[in-house]
Structures are given as C-alpha cells and as structure tokens.
Amino acid sequence: MGATFAEPAKRHARILLVDDHALIRYGMKELLSHEPHLEVCGEAEDVDDALLQVEATCPDLIIIDISLKHGNGIELIKRISARHPNKRILVSSMHDESLFAERALHAGAHGYLNKQEATDKLTEAIHHVLDGHIYLSVEMTDNFLQRMSGNHEPLEDLSVERLTDRELEVFELIGQGLATRQIAGRLHISIKTADSHREHIRDKLNLANSAQLARHAVQWILENH
C-alpha cells in the first residue's frame, strides 16, 4: 500500500483592525474569532499607530474606518498603498458609500462595507477581498456600471462630490466645530493652507460666507454620520 500524505494546513489570513472605537474593534474581533483561517493580528485607532502595526504584524488584510482618532482613513489607505502596494485593504465605515467608496478605491482600497451591514457581510467581504476581488454593495456596483455605460442619474449631492479628499476632510472638521487653527493642527498643515481649503470649499459649494459654510458642514455631518 502506498504512503498517504496529509494536505498541508491552510495558513490563517492575518487581519489588522483600524478603527477609533474600541467597542467596534472588539465586536469585529469576536466575530472573526469564530471564523476558520482568519486571525486578528493587531489593532490601531489612528494613522500613525496603524502604520506601525502594518510593519510590525505584516497583515494580509487591513480593515480601515474612514474617521480615525487622529487622521483620516483615506489618507491612511494612500500611505499604506504607497509603501505596501500588495496589501489588501477593506473599508468598513458608517460614512455614505456613494460618497466615499470611489474615493477609497482610488486611494488603493479593494472594498467598501457599510458598518450597518458588517455583522452579516463582514466575513463575506473579507474572503472576497482576500481572493483578489473588489467588494462593493450591489447598489454601488450597479452605480459604477451605470456610470460606465453612461446611463446614470446625476448624484444628488454633486457639489460635495466635487471636493477633493483633503477638502472633504476639512469640510468634515468644520462640521465638527473645529476652528481654522484647530483644523491646521489636526491635519498638520499651516493655517494659511487651512484657510485656502476653506475658501475653495466655499467656492465649490457656492456659499456666501463662513457662517453659511459652518451651517452647511454641520448639516452634512448630521445627515451622513
């Protein structure tokens, strides 16, 4: 009788969680603990810590929120993609997919999952991205296909869509009540640059003054968070 050989054990995929809410990280870690071949190898709550964890833990997949304790998920995705172009990245966020999914993909992510669907769809999204595919909701995928075919309706909030990633980040901080000096400090830019971003945002949104900008930003925060 010939010798039999056992199949080699499948290696666990290592996952790094980047989210500024400890409870969210705990919930995802608990959910993934029941999944064979998936292993949470580290956690981070801001950009700098996440970059250190990527180097220290060598994850196969990084799950990133858009809003972080210090910094922004889109900027983190760009920095990880520049340093580690082969790393797989999945965004899990409460932010509006129609506004942020395309930005995340352009930055280097490979999927976007709304946190409201995370419990049911998280493991599906993880395996999809690890297998080399792009993961989006059915609605967002249809939106992309419609746009490619030229048969799509204009986006409702086209004015906000026109903002650059940095301008959108500044706009969100204005909505959170931060003054120009605070925004400059948070984003590590000069006050002059922060002021310039504010002016560009006002022009693109067709707002007359800083008071209108503040009200519009607060309203946007209320509707999209």
What are the structural domains of the chain?
Answer: 13-147 (3.40.50.2300), 158-224 (1.10.10.10)
User: Which sign does the torsion angle of CA 218, 167, 47, 34 carry?
Assistant: positive
Instruction: Please write the tens of the pLDDT for every residue from 92-117.
Output: 988 878 778 888 998 999 999 988 77
Q: CA-CA distance, 156 to 154, in Å (whole number)?
A: 6
Tokens of 82: 């520049």
pLDDT of residue 4: 55
The 10 Å Cβ neighbour count of residue 221 is 16
Tokens of 94: 């409460």
pLDDT of residue 154: 47
Residue type, 100: F
pLDDT of residue 92: 93
Flag residues of the chain having pLDDT under 50. Answer: 154-157
Instruction: Please write the tens of the pLDDT for every residue from 18-52.
Output: 999 999 999 999 999 999 899 999 999 999 999 99
Residue type, 218: V
Residues 126/130/133/138 CA torsion (nearest 10 deg):
-10
Residue 133 neighbours by CB under 8 Å, 6+ apart: 110
Q: CA-CA distance, 87 to 153, in Å (whole number)?
A: 34
